[in-house]
Amino acid sequence: MIQRDKYHHGDLRNALLSATLELVREQGTRGFSVSEAARRAGVSISAPYRHFADREALLAAAAQHAFGQMELRFATLDLGETLTSRAERICTAYLAFAQEDPARFDVMFAAGIDKARHPSLLEQTSGIQTQLEEALAPYVAQAEVAERAAELWSIAHGVATLTLGGHLHHVVDRSRIVTMAASAARTWVAGVPGVHMH
């Protein structure tokens, strides 16, 4: 018989989020189910629904937690004092974050979550865009900063996604992928018009 008081309020939620990532590591986001997450957490099949409306809500909460971790990583990143150093360090830190835990990265982007249905996740995701804009703002025209930040995010995400999918290893030696991410960032900087060099 399952102990109904096994978890305090916040502990059950955290246990389910941990179980979700564990399952995604093993089976991918498509193979994930709420009932299996409940089993891994050692609670009844109905227990998750005290915190999460459905499968998507549980995945959205896991994604929100992961975006929070990424936001913290960027908040503590030494960006340097030039646009080039900032672009390089953002791209390489993004790649490192993705490689540390590919399942976490999958949940953030590949779960098919409708962010419009999960405003807190959308807000957390927007926090990354805001951080990138703030990093670029001293060097880029104000009218362009949002689009430029989205460009840099796209470059970093492309390198990370292709790396995790094993699509770069036949082109670029594994030991050079970080160097390639930094090079892609420098190439992007070279194409940014009117860069302020202060």
Residue 148 sits in a domain of what CATH number? Answer: 1.10.357.10
Q: E-strand spans in 15-108?
A: none
Q: Could you tell me the maximum CA-CA distance found in the chain, to the nearest angstrom?
A: 67
User: For residue 196, is it within any domain?
Assistant: no
* HSE-CB for 39 with a 13 A CA cutoff: 6
| Spatial distance between the Cα atoms of 144 and 5, rounded to a whole number of angstroms | 53
> What's the angle, vertex CA 29, arms to CA 28 and CA 35, rounded to 5?
105
| Together in a domain, 8 and 72 | no
Note the pLDDT of residue 170. 83
Question: For the chain, which residues score pLDDT lower than 70?
Answer: 1-10, 110-111, 196-198
Tally of domains within the chain? 2
Is the domain of 48 the same as that of 71? no
Residue 198 domain flag: no
| CA angle (171, 156, 19) in 5-degree steps | 100
Residue 197's pLDDT is what? Answer: 54
> Is residue 38 domain-shared with residue 90, that is, in the same domain?
no
| Claim to verify: residue 144 and residue 180 sit in the same structural domain | yes
Same domain? 6 vs 97: no
pTM: 0.89
In this structure, the answer to whether residues 116 and 29 fall within a common structural domain is no
Q: Cβ contacts of residue 159 below 8 Å, gap of 6+?
A: 91, 94, 95, 168, 177, 180, 181, 184
Are 158 and 94 found together in one domain? Answer: yes
80 SS3 class: coil
Supply the pLDDT for residue 7.
Answer: 58
Q: Are residues 75 and 140 in the same domain?
A: yes
> Which CATH number is 28's domain given?
1.10.10.60
Is residue 105 domain-shared with residue 163, that is, in the same domain?
Answer: yes
Dist CA 174 CA 170 (whole Å): 9
Q: Is residue 87 part of a domain?
A: yes
| pLDDT the model gives residue 8 | 56
Domain match, 12 and 109 both: no
Give the DSSP letter string of 26-62.
Answer: HHTTTT--HHHHHHHHTS-TTGGGGT-SSHHHHHHHH
Domain for residue 197, yes or no?
Answer: no
The amino acid at 24:
V
Distance between alpha carbon 139 and the CA centroid of its chain, in Å? 25
Domain end among 52, 74, 94: 52
Cβ atoms 7, 43 nearer than 8 A = yes
| Distances, alpha carbon 95 to alpha carbons 99, 102, 131, 141, in Å | 6, 10, 16, 26
In a domain, 158, yes or no: yes
pLDDT for 35-92, tens place per residue? Answer: 999 999 999 999 999 889 999 999 999 999 999 999 999 999 999 999 999 999 999 9
Residues 118 and 151 in one domain: yes
Q: Both 138 and 186 in a single domain?
A: yes
Expressed as residue numbers, the domain containing 73 is 62-190
Angle at 61 between CA 34 and CA 104, to 5 degrees: 90
What pLDDT is recorded for position 195?
74
